[in-house]
Copies of this chain bind each other. A is one copy, B any other.
Amino acid sequence: MEFPKITLVGVGLLGGSVGLAAKASGVASSVCGLVRRKESIDECLAAGVVDEATLVPDKALADAGLVILCTPVGGMGKLTGRLKPHLEPKAILTDVGSVKAGVVAAVEQQWPRFVGSHPLAGSEKTGVAHAHADLLQDALCVVTPTAQSDATVVDTVETFWRSLGSRTLCLSPEAHDTIVARTSHLPHVLATALVRAVLGRAENGEAEFCATGFRDTTRLASGSAPLWRDIALANPIAIAAAVADLQTELDGLRLALDAKDAAALEKFFEDGQTLRGEWLRGKK
């Protein structure tokens, strides 16, 4: 499979990395970036992630067989409405948003040749300067068709991600959102809550005592606040349920601490150690 032209709408860390990987893999003859700010054009070209960057939708979308929305999840519906008049009739549309149900519903009603994607690859770093071609390599990319999806479109989008080195898996948008609420959104909100609980209440010079363990456990809290506000707004019920399960774990821990229950405390830590060890081994 090869596209004469692929267009990235929004070229940050993830969009830029898709651009680099698409160029490296040869899946596209030409990669174009549609950006909002004039300075982004030079940034994209300097980072070498696209062959061409422009502010003009008509120019960006002409002849593009695959268009990938790499913008924050909050505005993808409206964005599609603005892009629609400029899309080639046969253009296939996908996105890289980390929440799917709302995005998919908003976009596919405007462009039936759309199927949602979520490459599970990222960084707390943002911006095209941090893009790198192997971000997608060996990553899992979830593709989220619905009952209305065209099988050829789904197949093309899956094949595209595989050509960048990602593994793909098809799930309904709702199933995807329930799972990532636990595996991705929960770690993120927890990292943030931990920063707030420790550094937001640092009455005894706690900042000086925070070392590498704190640094790694809170790494995700440095992610973009507007981006995560939109993710939280797009998946509130599943995230709240995941937080509730986490709080149940903490309630159990507090009971064991109050009772100085050595066996229960050891089991708490032992289960965590074992489960994580099994997970790590499964990754290899």
> Could you list which residues of chain A lie within 8 angstroms of chain B, going by C-beta atoms?
120-123, 139-140, 142, 169, 175, 178-180, 182-184, 186-201, 204-226, 228-229, 232-233, 236-237, 239-240, 242-250, 253-254, 256-258, 260, 262, 265-266, 268-273, 275-280, 282
Closest 10 CB pairs of A and B: A192-B272, A225-B269, A193-B249, A225-B270, A236-B257, A183-B209, A229-B266, A199-B275, A187-B217, A221-B272
CB distance from A112 to the nearest CB of B (A): 28
Q: Is the CB of B236 within 8 A of A260?
A: yes
Interface of chain A: mostly helix, strand, loop or mixed: helix
Minimal Cβ-Cβ distance residue in B for A266: B229
* Contact status B217-A204, CB under 8 Å: no
- Chain B residues with CB under 8 Å of A223's CB are 269, 273
Closest CB of chain B to A161's CB: distance in Å? 15
Assuming the contacts A233-B265, A257-B232, A262-B233, asked whether A217 and B214 have C-beta atoms less than 8 A apart, the reply is: no
In the complex the two chains form, is B225's CB within 8 Å of A273's CB? yes
In-complex Cβ contact of A246 among B194, B213, B282 (8 A): B194
* Max chain B Cβ within 10 angstroms of own Cβ: one of A142, A197, A268: A197
Q: Which residues of B contact A206 (CB under 8 A)?
A: 179, 182-183
Q: Which residues from B are CB-within-8-Å of A276?
A: 195, 199, 218, 221-222
Query: Which chain B positions have C-beta within 8 A of A212?
Result: 122-123
A115 to chain B, nearest CB (A): 19
Q: Are B213 and A188 in contact (CB-based, < 8 A)?
A: yes
Report whether B190 and A121 are in contact in the complex, using a CB–CB cutoff of 8 Å. Answer: no
Q: Which residues of B lie under 8 Å from residue A217 when comparing CB positions?
A: 187, 190-191, 216-217, 219-220
Closest B residue by C-beta to A268:
B192
A270 to B243: give the CA distance in the assembly, Å.
19
| B186:A198 contact, CB within 8 angstroms | yes
Decide if B207 touches A279 in the complex (CB within 8 Å): yes
| Interface contact A195-B272, CB-CB below 8 Å | yes
CA distance A195 to B225 in the complex (A): 24
Let me know if A186 and B197 touch, CB within 8 A: yes
Collect the chain B residues with CB atoms within 8 Å of residue A214's CB: 183-184, 187
Can you add 4 more A-B contacts, CB < 8 Å, to A169-B208, A196-B268, A197-B246?
Answer: A189-B268, A193-B272, A210-B279, A246-B250
Cα distance, A280 to B262, chains bound together (Å): 36
Contact of A140 among B208, B213, B219 (CB under 8 A): B208
* A240-B254 in contact (CB<8A): yes
Tell me if B200 and A271 are in contact (CB < 8 A).
yes
Among A245, A253, A272, the one with the most B-chain Cβ atoms within 10 Å of its Cβ is: A272
Using Cβ atoms and an 8 Å threshold, which residues of chain B touch A219?
A: 213, 216-217
Report the bound CA distance from A278 to B196 in whole Å.
12
